[in-house]
Amino acid sequence: MSARRLAPFGVTVFTEMTALANQLEAVNLGQGFPDWDGPDFAKQAAVDSLQAGGTDQYPPSAGIPALREAIARRYSPRLGRELDPDTEVTVTGGCTEALAASFLGLIDPEDEVVLIEPYFDSYPVGVALAGARPRFLTLRPPDFDLDLDVWSAW
């Protein structure tokens, strides 16, 4: 059971694809279900961390500082500027959580939000949770350019 405001959205495309892949005994390419274990060094690092103790507490809401610092070091050169790990890096439990937090933090109720189609299926859900109204702008072949006539008519 979910909130009534989410009823129009049904289940995610990942739920549908997983059910279909299971039904057909197919490889599920929809959500990233690898059919192999992670690398041994990564599993051993997790074991070592747990055995070392002291890491069984919730992290700060923005993420563990050492991880934010590592992310800033990794992406600063790629972005061509220094990232501040304390103010410009937040760690989430995945893309959907990051999107939901962004929508809730940046969109006010009754705002209009332009969603460029095609889009990830959680975008309209995030817009609805924020109390905003989606406006849809579809990219069309062959160039997949934004139709500025539609855009300016708004």
* Residues contacting 111, CB < 8 A, separation 6+: 130, 132, 133
Per-residue pLDDT of the chain (154 residues; tens, 9 = 90+): 677 877 888 888 888 888 998 999 988 887 777 778 889 999 998 899 888 886 667 889 899 999 999 999 999 999 999 999 999 999 998 888 999 999 999 999 999 999 999 888 899 999 999 999 999 988 888 988 887 777 677 7
Beta pairing partners, 137: 116
CB 104 within 8 A of CB 129: yes
pLDDT of 6 reads 77
pLDDT in tens, 15-39: 888 899 899 998 888 777 777 888 9
Q: Is the peptide bond before 118 cis (omega within 30 degrees of 0)?
A: yes
Nearest to 139 by CA among 109, 103, 115: 115
Structural domain spans, the chain: 1-33, 110-154
